[in-house]
Structure 1
Amino acid sequence: MSEQSPACYTFEAAIEMAVKMEDEGFRHYLQAMRKVKDKHAKEILKEAALDELEHKKELEKALVEGTIEGSHSLERPVPTMNLDYLLKTEELKPDAGVREALAYAIHLEKGSLDFYRRMAQGCAGAPMAGIFERIGNDESRHLKALEDLYEEHFLPEN
């Protein structure tokens, strides 16, 4: 994922950066989908790729309309389990299964969430901070959904 220094941008530049971030995420998922053979792993990656496309579409719409509204209006981040700290970051191999696909997706979503949080901090006090914060909050929702799925299938009960 893109590394950016904390700085604030115009509305248009901020949204363009977010569009680029979502496109990079989509490309990573697409590449992974082409690589893995497991049907269920492909499905997880496909759903994550479609989420990235939906974000990108909403952001591009914001460029046209000059404002960002709708599903990005989450006021608070969704708490996550931080499973990325427990799961190894690895390139997916053709024989990767659901567990590996979920771990891969969790790391990509965490990277996106971190990007939006850094951008919000860099724009603290400016209107763009709220935009990055809301997009980040939506990313936290996606990350939580992936973590919940991982927990449900692969983490034993205490």
Structure 2
Amino acid sequence: MSTAQVCHTFEAALEMAIEMENEGYRHYLRGLMIVRDANARDILKEMALDELDHKYALEKALIEGFVGEEHQLQRPVPTMNLDYVLTRRELSPDSGVREALAYAIHLEKNAVDFYQRMARGCAGAPMAEMFEKIGNDESRHLQKLEDLYETYFLSEN
């Protein structure tokens, strides 16, 4: 999927975003099929459902001509950028919560980056603000995962 610095039509841009959300969903679904740890599976399941929720909102926007406000934050949520510290590895049957969180952090960071590229490519067009807000919402998911990782694996105790 190419996301070069170019603005697409509203429909084409939404189709690209739907494809990106579906790809994220498929990654989480594959993880659910592989991982045996119940807590890791819970994380992957929650994130898969979030991806489906975003995909549904984007598909609905194709019909209605706009993205609903429930998936559009005004500002990005600050994150710790744990994706730079954590190695991205494919999940295995023995993967636990730590590995599932690292995997999800990388997927969500990819989504944030995707929406930022789309917003930059559409700078000045009405879609730029929409992509920026959806990206901000993705940053909220990333922060949630990083907070979980910090709570369980970066505590000072």
User: Per the shorter chain, which TM-score range?
Assistant: over 0.9
Q: CA deviation at 1:118?
A: 0.7
Taking structure 2 as the reference length, the TM-score comes to 0.97
1:97 is the counterpart of 2:96:
yes
Letter aligned with residue 35 of structure 1: I
Structure 2: 5+ residue stretches without partners: none
Q: CA deviation at 1:3?
A: 4.8
Range with bigger deviation, 66-75 or 147-156: 66-75
- Deviation of 1:69 after TM superposition, in Å, equals 2.1
Matches within 5 A, 1:54-133: 54-133=53-132
Partner of 1:141: 140
TM-score by length of 1: 0.96
Counterpart-to-counterpart distance in 1, 2:89 and 2:151:
22
CA RMSD of aligned residues (A): 1.1
Distance 1:37 1:157 in 2: 28
For 2:142 and 2:152, locate their aligned partners in 1 and report how far apart those are by CA, in whole Å: 16
Structure 1 residue ranges without an equivalent (≥5): none
Whole-angstrom CA distance in 2 between matches of 1:73 and 1:111? 18
Task: Report the count of equivalent residues.
Answer: 157
- Structure 1 residue ranges, 4+ long, deviating more than 6 angstroms after superposition: none
Asked whether the 8 Å contact 1:3–1:115 carries over to 2, the reply is no
1:150 aligns with 2:149: yes
Q: Which residue of 1 aligns with 2:22?
A: 23
Instruction: List per-residue Cα deviations over 1:110-150 (Å, max 9, x = no partner).
Output: 00100110111111111111111011001000000000000
What's the offset of the Cα at 1:72? 2.3
